[in-house]
Every structure is written in C-alpha cells, then in structure tokens.
Structure 1
Amino acid sequence: MSSVITSLQMQGETGLRPYFADEDFVLYNTDVVPFLRELKKPLWDLTVTSPPYNIGKEYESMQTLDSYVQWCEAWMSLVHNTTSEHGAFWLNVGYTPLHEQAKALPLAYLLWGLSDFYFIQEVVWNYGAGVAGRKFYSPRNEKFLWFVKNADAYVFNLDAVRDPDVKYPNQFKNGKRKVNIAGKNPTDVWNFPKVTSGRNRSSVERTPHPAQFPEKVIERVVLASSNPGDLVFDPFMGSGTTAVVANRLGRRVVGTEIRPDYCQLAVERYLLAKELRGSELSL
C-alpha cells in the first residue's frame, strides 16, 4: 500500500478504492465533492486544476450559471479545507457566455472570491492558436488565479522558474550586476503554446482529451508553488498532465476524475512517462 493512500486513510478516506495507485500517484474515479467531504484534515501542499467551464464540452453537463457558481463554491471551499497551512491553489479558468449580458465573461470574475483562500495574483496564459474572431478580437488567453492558504507564509520558488531570456544580461550599476544571472522574473503573462490538434499541427503531447494542459504551464506552477516531496492534488485530472509533470519534478500526486475513460488515459500517460524517464536514466 502506498504512503499516499495511507495518508488519505488516516485523514478519514477509507471506503473508496483507488482506480490506480503506486508510490507516487493515486487516482480515484469519483466526483470530487463527496471525496473531499470525507477528508477531515489538511493534506495537499498544492492544488492545480482546470474545472469544466460550463460551455458544453463532452465531459460536462450544462448547468445554469447560478448552479455552476454554487458548485464551484462547494468544491473550492473543500479544497481550502484540505490544503496545508503553507499550501497554494492554482485555478485555470476561461470564459463563459452570459446570454444577453456578455459574449464571453471571464470566469475569474465569478469565482475568485468563493473560498477563504487569499488571492495573490492573476496570471494570464497567452497562446498563439485559437479561433479567429470576425466581430471581436481573436481570443488568445486564459486566466490562472493564484491563491494561498496563508498570506504570510507560502511557497514561492522564484529561482526555480526564472526566465534566462534577459535582454541586457551584462548591465552593471556601481560595480554590481543589475540582473540576476539565473534569469528574470517571468512576469504575470506567460507565453506557452496550447496543446493543438489536427492534421500536420497536432502537438507532440496531444491525447484524445479535448481540453488538455500544456506540460510547460503546469511545470512552472509546480516548481514555483511546491517543494520536492510535496503532495499535489488535481480534482479534475482529465488527461493526467498534473500527474505526469508533478511526478517528473519529484512530487507525489493525488487526483480525482469522474470519467473512467479519462482515468484510463491519465494512468496510461503517467506510466508511459515514468517508463520513458526510467529508460533515459539507464542510458
């Protein structure tokens, strides 16, 4: 039995059998809300996820906007309750139509204050591919909302995510270099390509999942907001990007995913990444 499962059982989760478990990754095929209600104490050091946007994707049931916001408030509050004192929560959200009031309302406007987390910052994820607008600007961004449990004591490993692309690396003032030799702060606008699909344009990491994180985005979040050995949680595991990236970076991972086909996809992707990494280390 893995140490991660043991930790979950000690926190009160005893009746649910994992879909998959090894020493580094435990995945449950279940709804996140009842799962989190069973946990009695803080557990995660970092949660990073992207919930359904309520826009009619194949993996979601459409709700009224009020019902959707209430559902988000429920699971976000439970994430807060199960996050460690120094822990963080990164929430990726996009846009939703608001019928007669808005063509594309940023979900960040509706969700940011639904829990007791302290809001640090909005990060804009900018990408190149996307739909082309005719009567509006072509949308090319989504939001990440960065929350922490404790505003005075949280993990932020800036040196782990510095951008080496410094325009003037050799500037000095009073004999001291003005720029950190490890690189600059990446700023709050991140330029990472989307995971694309389609003939002659599909990303290397593309899976059958219709809404897949790029690994580079999650890598920056995990490096900056957690430490090796920490426990990372993704309540909407989807294609398994969080598990693949966090495990590669030396973190342990727990996830929930309501669809069994996505659970299988995530496990297969995780195991393949682990196998390939082992092969590379043996060379």
Structure 2
Amino acid sequence: MKVSITEDKERKIASKEHNTYVAEGIEQHKITQIAPPSLLKPFSSNLKCQLLSHQQVIEAQLYKLIGKPFYSDEGFILYQGDSSNFLQKIDSNYIKVDLTVTSPPYNIGKEYETPMSVEEYIEWCSQWIHQIHRITKPNGAFWLNIGYLEVPNKGLCVPIPYLLWDKSPFYLLQEVVWQYGAGVSTKYRLSPRNEKWLFYIKNAQEYTFNLDDIRDPNVKYPNQKKNGKYRCNPLGKNPSDVWEFPKVTTGTKRSSKERTGHPSQFPLGIVERVIRASSNQLELVLDPFAGSCSTGIASVGLGRIFLGFEIRPDYCEMAVSRFEEFKRQRANNYQ
C-alpha cells in the first residue's frame, strides 16, 4: 500500500528521499486473530488425559488451601481476590509453581491501582515476589514485566527494574527489552517505545530453558558456512534479548481481535515465547495479577496448567469470556 502525498513536498516526512515508507510503501494492516495459530493446535488424547489428571490434583489441594475458584475448566484455574492473601495461604508442600509470568500494577494511576509512594510500592512488590519464590520449584523461573514510574525529585520515567531488581530472592539471569512501534507521543522527551522483562530463576545452576522451542527461523544468511559446516542452528537463531512484538492495538480498522477491555494487556505472542522457553507441558504456570489472562490463554494453548489471581471481579468476568471464546475458536480449529 503506497502512502499518498497530499501535503507540501518539501516536508521530510512526505519525501521519498527521507521516508522509506513513502518510497517503498507499507504493508496493509491485518487484524490479528483472538490467538496465534500456534496456540490452537490439538493435543494428543494422552496429553489431554494427563492435563485433566494434573488439574484435578492441583485443584483439590487449592480447594483445601484457598477455597473454590472463580472459574475452572480445561487447565484454566482463576481465583478472584487479593493475590498476596492467596499466596500467603498456599502451602509449598502441596503446591509448587514451575513458572510465574506477570505484569503487576506500575503505580502510575491506572484505574485498577491504589496509589502508593515509591518506597511503599517497592516494598509491596518485594513482599509478593518473596511469596512467589517460596512456592517456586528449585528449577523454576519468574518473568516480570514492568515499565516506568516517576520518582519525585529524581526522575520522570525511571525504569522500575532499576528500583526492584535486587529486592528479590530470585537470581536475575538477564533483562529482556520488549520493543514496540505504537505508544505515547511526547514533545519534550523521546517517545517511549519499550518495556522491560526481568528473567529471574531460582537456581542459577539448574533451570528450565528451552532455546530450541523459541528459535527464530528468520535468519539473514541461512546458508552461510564455516569450515564446510553451516554456522546457524537448523532450527534458527537465538532470538536475543531484544524482542519486537507489536502492542495489542485498538481502533475500528486496526483493533486486534485479542483486544479486551483491560487497559494494560500484553500480547499473546510475547507471553507464548516466555512460556515455551521457561516451562514444559503439564507444568503449572502462575500469574498473580492475571488481568485479561493472556498468561492463562497462552498456558492452556501450550499444554500447561494455569493458575491466576485477579482482584477485580469485572476483570475476572472479562477473562472468562475471553477464555470461552478462545476455547470455541480452538474447537473450530480442530475440525
């Protein structure tokens, strides 16, 4: 699709010399589906039986510890309430988490947040992270998506990882930068176009990391050789610590079908990569700030069991509706 030039040709943004999108055109926007095709693939009868059995065992233990879930079906277990209360009650002798993937409130004034001072916020984060560490398996992992906040008299857009990285009993393996195209426009500073994911593990010597499951086949020189041998792994390259995933979009013609009414929804593609890398089928994936349950849908689609906590009942209803639609699309995909 070519960009039509209807304004002054002297403007750089409308010039073929300066703007490659004008010179070469841009791809037509395509509305995304409710879930990537990779999450809609059918499971074997054996895996489905194993998932059901595992879920029944986990649910029985959870019922004793924290009561009946808000919703439960096909590997998707959701509780409505304060995650700190739930985490405190869970006995690590009965429930062990393989992977936690979450994005907590950033303390920036969203509708679902209770305002706190920076000190209070960091202390609160440290408390629930310690609770997660207690119930995480020895080889388990914890992926934390966090953005920026203002530190009074110190900085406007201070990355929360700078404040939080050492307030955890987990071992910080690395920071992953999530880069995206759309976002807030600014006039007196650079427009923010990234967020951070902190990749924590419990044991620095032994942890789950399935690199072959997330390799990127989009290699610039796939047939390059050294000493007569191909240089690149036949499955593709390591995707590196900078990930390019578009944000979940809004708008009449641009809206992603996976879009819900939640104001801070991260895309299924990015959480799918995290779950593939740091867990295996039949394992338990936790999201203590479940929101629209992107972690839940990706977990179920990949043959894991999901446990989510969400404090707001309206978000729980939203997540259940989303999961039900995901199940319908998945069933149709099987046919």
**Range of TM-score over shorter length:** over 0.9
Alignment match, 1:178: 231
Whole-angstrom distance in 2 between the partners of 1:4 and 1:34: 22
Alignment match, 2:155: 102
**Which structure 2 residues correspond to residues 107-256 of structure 1 after superposition, within 5 A?**
107-256=160-309
Q: Report the TM-score when normalising by structure 1.
A: 0.96
1:50 and 2:106 aligned: no
Is contact 1:2–1:22 with CA below 8 Å preserved after alignment?
no
Alignment match, 1:39: 90
1:120-166, Cα deviation, whole Å (9 max, x unpaired):
00000000001112111110000000001111111111111011110
Whole-angstrom distance in 1 between the partners of 2:171 and 2:180: 27
1:95-128, Cα deviation, whole Å (9 max, x unpaired):
0011221010000011111221011000000000
* Alpha-carbon shift at residue 16 of structure 1 (Å): 2.3
Percent of residue pairs identical: 50
Alignment match, 1:26: 77
Q: Which runs of 5+ in 1 are unaligned?
A: none
Whole-angstrom distance in 1 between the partners of 2:181 and 2:74: 37
Is contact 1:96–1:106 with CA below 8 Å preserved after alignment?
yes
1:80-100, Cα deviation, whole Å (9 max, x unpaired):
001111110000000001122
Whole-angstrom distance in 2 between the partners of 1:184 and 1:130: 28
Whole-angstrom distance in 1 between the partners of 2:65 and 2:228: 61
Is contact 2:97–2:136 with CA below 8 Å preserved after alignment?
yes
Whole-angstrom distance in 2 between the partners of 1:115 and 1:185: 27
Is contact 2:145–2:195 with CA below 8 Å preserved after alignment?
yes
Which moves more between the two structures, 14-23 or 240-249?
14-23
Amino acid corresponding to residue 68 of structure 2 in structure 1: R
Is contact 2:74–2:300 with CA below 8 Å preserved after alignment?
no
Alignment match, 1:4: 55
Whole-angstrom distance in 2 between the partners of 1:55 and 1:27: 26
Whole-angstrom distance in 2 between the partners of 1:160 and 1:6: 28
1:71 and 2:124 aligned: yes
Q: Which runs of 5+ in 2 are unaligned?
A: 1-51
Whole-angstrom distance in 1 between the partners of 2:199 and 2:155: 25
Relative distance call for 1:15 and 1:206 in structure 2 (3 A) is closer
Is contact 1:2–1:21 with CA below 8 Å preserved after alignment?
no
* Alpha-carbon shift at residue 242 of structure 1 (Å): 0.7
Amino acid corresponding to residue 213 of structure 1 in structure 2: F
Is contact 1:195–1:214 with CA below 8 Å preserved after alignment?
yes
**Which structure 2 residues correspond to residues 248-267 of structure 1 after superposition, within 5 A?**
248-267=301-320
Amino acid corresponding to residue 186 of structure 1 in structure 2: P
Over the aligned positions, Cα root-mean-square deviation in angstroms equals 1.6
- Three-state SS of the structure 2 residue aligned to 1:14 is helix
Amino acid corresponding to residue 31 of structure 1 in structure 2: D
